[in-house]
Amino acid sequence: MVKINKDLKDLVIARIEAYSDDIGLIIGADKHYSKSELIDNVKNETELGKEIIGMQLEYLQDMIKGNIYTALDQ
């Protein structure tokens, strides 16, 4: 099992903590994850937590490369 870098995990947790308390994630038709559940999943490196870390990392890399701004211009 690959261990997630602590700094990366802390960064993702900080980004989620900055979200509004009303934010959540819905997967499928009936599973809703609250902000605190998202943070717990990242901290515990569950499969969902790893997916969240991956999405956040991809987003940040796209920002660095300028891909976010290119997509917005289309």
Residues in the chain: 74
Over the stretch 16-42, which tens digit does the pLDDT of each residue have?
999 998 888 888 778 899 999 999 999
Task: Return d(Cα 60, Cα 37) in angstroms, integer.
Answer: 22
Q: Give whole-number Cα distances, 54 to 22, 29, 47, 58, in Å.
A: 22, 23, 11, 6
What's the pTM? 0.79
The predicted pLDDT at position 48 comes to 93
User: Where is pLDDT greater, at 56 or 70?
Assistant: 56
Q: What is the mean pLDDT of the chain?
A: 87
Over the stretch 41-50, which tens digit does the pLDDT of each residue have?
999 999 999 9
